[in-house]
Amino acid sequence: MAKSNGQKKTQKKPDAKTVVEETRKLAEEIYKKRVADNKPGNAESDWVQAENEIKAKYGL
């Protein structure tokens, strides 16, 4: 049985193309949810939120 050292498993670092594509898709999802919920915001804030979530996902 393998011992756990208490560290979280991080995903392999993606290439730039993957990061941009995932960010674009997530920003679109954020936009659609924001509009459906009638919340204020804009494309830039949607992108920044998506970028932050993707960076956290990959530990960037």
For residue range 12-32, what is the model confidence (pLDDT) as tens digits?
Answer: 889 999 999 999 999 999 999
Mean pLDDT to the nearest integer, 39-53: 97
Residue 12's pLDDT is what?
82
pTM of the model: 0.77
Residue 28's pLDDT is what?
98
pLDDT at 46 over 90: yes
Q: DSSP secondary structure string, 1-53?
A: -PPP-SPPPPPPPPPHHHHHHHHHHHHHHHHHHHHHTT----HHHHHHHHHHH
Residue 1: pLDDT band with limits 50, 70, 90 = very low
